[in-house]
């Protein structure tokens, strides 16, 4: 399906302005001051923390206010359309390119998005799950799987990150209900302790090799759909993937990656880690605290 497809209307659209890659950006009548804070009173209990350590992820149900997320969706979508640099039609992209439109560190481009990304409650939950005193922002990332968008191949995020420990976590927040046909995030439960495939960048090869290895390892798969108001948190070494978006709606997802506030950097072990070091932690070197100006502490107990 090409970028010019016209049957693609994002939910909650009020005043469409332009269409790109299946995402319709819209003017929102919600002004900055009216945009609600992303809050939750959820506190991570011992059982949730145990499950997180056992499985390497948790899907938390209905702990965010769906109406709040629906108010944010057009604001984030408009920024994705503005900042997106993927201009090829889907059929001309490689597997990774077909997986989603990917826009990073939007907090730096929009004071509104910064309010979303700096949510103290989301950062607090990240710290509680990791069992650390505080967390810093690594970076944010919108992942919009267009209608007709392809699979997200099996991978583990920490392949890309030169970190001294596994205390890093991504919150994956769908901005609409995400049933099976939209490509909800799927986890291999317990795979954060599996060392096979940790050297694989996201690609056709990682999909094939990890599918084989994770099946042989008998890791249970969790591809349960998400309702708006649900979100998952996964560790950097947890293997995950997603099915294509077979629906006619964009799968709009916002993610925030947190690291232990005490995280130090290690010598990069691949060229992607060299790139990440320069890009997300400018001025930092192996051995340093991960504390560049781009990595503010978002929560401290
Ligand atoms: O949204 C997706 O399809 C993939 C998400 C992902 O890989 C991540 O959040 O680490």
For the stretch 12-31, pLDDT in tens is 333 334 445 566 555 565 66
Please tell me the distance between residue 33's alpha carbon and the centre of ligand 1 in angstroms: 30
In the chain, domain spans: 46-300
Ligand 1 atom nearest 143 alpha carbon: 1
3-state helix, strand and coil shares in percent for the chain, rounded to the nearest 5: 30, 25, 45
Tens digits of residue pLDDT in 99-135:
999 999 999 999 999 999 999 999 999 999 999 999 9
d(CA 158, CA 277): 13
Burial class (CB in 10 A: 0-12, 13-18, 19+), 171: buried
Specify the pLDDT at position 4.
Answer: 30
Specify the pLDDT at position 43.
Answer: 97
Residues with CB under 6 A from ligand 1: 99-100, 143, 145, 152, 157, 170, 172, 185, 240, 242, 253, 255
Which value, to the nearest 10 degrees, does the dihedral of the CA atoms of residues 114, 232, 266, 160 take? Answer: -90
Tens digits of residue pLDDT in 180-196:
999 999 999 999 999 99
Q: Which CATH class is domain 46-300?
A: mainly beta
Specify the pLDDT at position 17.
Answer: 40
Please tell me the distance between residue 241's alpha carbon and the centre of ligand 1 in angstroms: 7
Ligand 1 atom nearest 242 alpha carbon: 3
Tens digits of residue pLDDT in 229-266:
999 999 999 999 999 999 999 999 999 999 999 999 99
Q: How confident is the model at residue 32 (pLDDT cuts 50, 70, 90)?
A: confident
- Three-state DSSP string of 233-259: EEECCCCEEECCCCCCCCECEEEEEEE
Please tell me the distance between residue 45's alpha carbon and the centre of ligand 1 in angstroms: 25
């Amino acid at each position: 399906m090409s970028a010019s497809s016209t049957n693609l209307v994002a939910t909650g659209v009020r005043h469409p302005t332009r269409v790109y890659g299946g995402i319709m950006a819209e003017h929102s009548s919600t002004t900055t001051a009216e945009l609600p804070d992303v809050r939750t009173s959820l506190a991570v209990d011992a059982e949730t923390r145990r499950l997180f350590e056992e499985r390497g992820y948790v899907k938390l149900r209905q702990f965010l206010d769906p109406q709040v997320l629906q108010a944010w969706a057009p604001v984030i979508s408009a920024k994705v359309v503005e900042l997106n640099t993927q201009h090829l039609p889907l059929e001309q992209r490689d597997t990774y390119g077909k997986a989603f439109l990917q826009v990073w560190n939007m907090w730096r481009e929009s004071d509104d998005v910064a309010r979303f990304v700096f949510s103290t409650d989301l950062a607090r939950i990240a710290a509680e799950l990791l069992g650390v005193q505080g967390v810093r922002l690594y970076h944010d990332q919108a992942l919009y799987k267009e209608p007709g968008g392809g699979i997200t191949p099996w991978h583990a995020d920490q392949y890309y990150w030169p970190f001294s420990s596994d205390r890093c976590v991504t919150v994956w927040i769908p901005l609409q209900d995400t049933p099976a046909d939209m490509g909800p995030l799927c986890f291999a439960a317990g795979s954060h302790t599996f060392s096979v495939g940790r050297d694989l960048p996201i690609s056709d090869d990682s999909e094939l090799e990890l599918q084989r290895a994770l099946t042989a390892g008998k890791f249970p798969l969790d591809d349960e759909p998400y309702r708006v108001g649900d979100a998952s948190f996964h560790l950097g070494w947890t293997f995950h993937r997603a099915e294509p978006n077979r629906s006619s709606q964009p799968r709009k997802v916002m993610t925030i990656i947190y690291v232990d506030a005490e995280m130090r950097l290690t010598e990069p072990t691949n060229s992607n880690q060299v790139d990440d070091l320069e890009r997300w932690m400018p001025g930092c070197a192996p051995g340093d605290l991960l504390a560049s100006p781009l990595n503010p502490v978002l929560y401290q107990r």
